């Protein structure tokens, strides 16, 4: 990476972005830059955070705006959705920056071409795909499990969310679109087309959450485990609280996949209104969690981590990724997933410093 010092948080005036900045600013004074389309809001957040935090305008749809914002930047953290042509990522690769993001990405998005990966390696860019919960925390847990069980056969991840929690527009739009979209996953070494909110499985989290039903969902971490960990089966699931919500969705979604209702959900009218109503009705219900189970030659390893307010967890995970980039712990240039490039022990210590430690539920070996 080039000798540049600024840490650009794109979308830093949003809920998670400002939390990321608040975790980093005390340790990296005068290095944090809040970038947003609304410069007045960015300036207000920067002023509130102190520690020499600055602000700049950016429009990720405009390559000229992106290039101006990247002047003097060494690390880029994206908290916003990007257009079909990801100008922010491309510019970061060209400039040799460290880069990561928390933006939910469609599992059906085409993979980044080998030419971009080669350019990142050549320019010294260190790109980590997915720095939030799933992908993000899930990849780190999968890495730990893979190292314990030897040759990996199966990786199953699950993400617990609560409808009364704090979430942004991008997250809501992502779920609204993905719950009506078939996606491809890997089962027994073969690609299989599946539907969201099908194939429920009982998942046990620590008390007081307990046992919940988890349903197939197109989190993008499952795309990479066959390549990065050698898994023959890789699936991800979603758990929603209260428990009646996912059960109801599983029942109704076959109807929702009709043209009429899909149009309404995709536009955010029907689903958005439902989510707003649930958020008010269950305000204060804010449990989140990540569980990963890895099966391999030596047995089964399962661990979970959970807490309150997923926005905080996402920001803590993202800030731990940024620290790994800043401190030179990610030493290989290129485009990687977290389980390929983020050192496990420092990441776990950084979460544990905020009271978040994984609990190993099953650790049995043949």
Model confidence at 251: pLDDT above 50: yes
Encode pLDDT of 8-63 as tens digits: 999 999 999 999 999 999 999 999 999 999 999 999 999 999 999 999 999 999 99
- pLDDT-derived band at 107 (thresholds 50, 70, 90) equals confident
Give the other-Cβ count within 10 Å of 3's Cβ.
5
Q: CA-CA-CA-CA torsion for 218, 220, 222, 223, nearest 10 degrees? A: 110
Burial track 228-243 (b if 16+ CB lie within 10 A, e otherwise): bbebbbbbbbbbbbee
Closest CA to 142 of 341, 292, 27, 242: 292
Question: Would you list the domain boundaries of the chain?
Answer: 6-132+312-350, 137-309
**Mean pLDDT to the nearest integer, 122-147:** 96
- pLDDT-derived band of residue 265, with 50, 70 and 90 as boundaries? very low
* Per-residue pLDDT, 1: 40
Q: In the predicted model, what is the mean pLDDT of residues 120-138? A: 96
Is residue 355 left, alpha or beta, with left meaning phi > 0 and alpha meaning psi from -120 to 50?
left
Average pLDDT along the chain: 90
Q: How far apart are CA 201 and CA 59, in angstroms?
A: 41
Mean pLDDT on 149-169: 91
Q: Over the stretch 273-293, which tens digit does the pLDDT of each residue have?
A: 777 788 889 999 999 999 999
- Strands 299-308 and 287-296 come out as antiparallel
- pLDDT tens-digit series, residues 181-214: 889 999 999 999 999 999 999 999 999 999 999 9
The CATH number for 6-132+312-350, chosen from 3.30.429.10, 3.40.50.720, 3.30.420.40, 3.40.630.30, is 3.40.50.720
**Which of the residue ranges 105-109, 260-264, 346-350 has the most confident prediction, judged by mean pLDDT?**
346-350
The three-class DSSP label of residue 307 is: strand
CATH for 137-309?
Answer: 3.30.360.10
pLDDT digits (tens, 9 = 90+) for 136-155: 999 999 999 999 998 999 99
CA–CA gap between residue 126 and residue 117 (Å, rounded): 10
For residue 111, pLDDT beyond 80: no
Helix (H) or strand (E) holding 161: strand 152-162
Q: Which residue is it, tokens 């109801």?
A: 248
Domain 137-309 in the same topology as domain 6-132+312-350: no
Strands 152-162 and 233-241: parallel
Residue that the structure tokens 């066959």 belong to: 226
Question: What pLDDT, on a 0 to 100 scale, did the predictor assign at position 258?
Answer: 58
Question: What's the pLDDT band for 168 if we cut at 50, 70, 90?
Answer: low
CA–CA dist 61, 81 (Å, integer): 10
């Amino acid at each position: 990476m080039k000798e540049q010092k600024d840490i650009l948080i794109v979308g830093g005036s949003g809920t998670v972005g400002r939390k990321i900045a608040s975790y980093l600013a005390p340790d990296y004074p005068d290095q944090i830059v809040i970038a947003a389309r609304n410069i007045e809001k960015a300036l207000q957040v920067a002023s509130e955070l102190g520690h020499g935090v600055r602000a700049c305008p950016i429009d990720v749809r405009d390559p000229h705006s992106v290039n101006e914002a990247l002047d003097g930047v060494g690390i880029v953290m994206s908290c916003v959705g990007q257009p079909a042509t990801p100008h922010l990522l491309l510019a970061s690769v060209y400039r040799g920056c460290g880069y990561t993001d928390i933006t939910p990405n469609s599992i059906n998005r085409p993979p980044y071409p080998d030419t971009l990966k080669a350019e990142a390696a050549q320019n010294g860019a260190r790109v980590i795909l997915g720095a939030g919960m799933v992908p993000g925390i899930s990849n780190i847990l999968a890495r730990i499990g893979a190292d314990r069980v030897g040759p990996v056969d199966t990786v199953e991840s699950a993400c617990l969310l609560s409808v009364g929690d704090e979430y942004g527009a991008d997250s809501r739009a992502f779920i609204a679109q993905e719950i009506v979209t078939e996606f491809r996953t890997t089962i027994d070494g073969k690609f299989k087309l599946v539907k969201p909110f099908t194939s429920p499985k009982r998942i046990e989290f620590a008390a007081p959450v307990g046992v919940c039903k988890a349903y197939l969902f197109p989190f993008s971490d499952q795309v990479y485990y066959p390549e990065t960990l050698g898994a023959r089966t890789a699936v991800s699931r979603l758990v929603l609280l209260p428990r009646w919500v996912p059960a109801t969705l599983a029942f109704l979604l076959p109807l929702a996949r009709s043209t009429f209702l899909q149009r309404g959900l995709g536009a955010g009218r029907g689903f958005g209104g439902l989510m707003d109503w649930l958020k008010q009705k269950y305000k204060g219900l804010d449990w989140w969690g990540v569980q990963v189970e890895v099966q391999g030659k030596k047995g089964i390893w399962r661990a979970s981590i959970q807490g309150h307010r997923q926005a905080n967890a996402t920001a803590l995970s993202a800030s731990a990724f940024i620290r790994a980039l800043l401190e030179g712990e990610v030493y290989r240039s290129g485009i990687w997933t977290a389980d390929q490039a983020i050192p496990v022990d420092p990441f776990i210590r950084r979460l544990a410093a905020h009271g978040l430690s994984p609990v190993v539920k099953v650790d049995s070996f043949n």
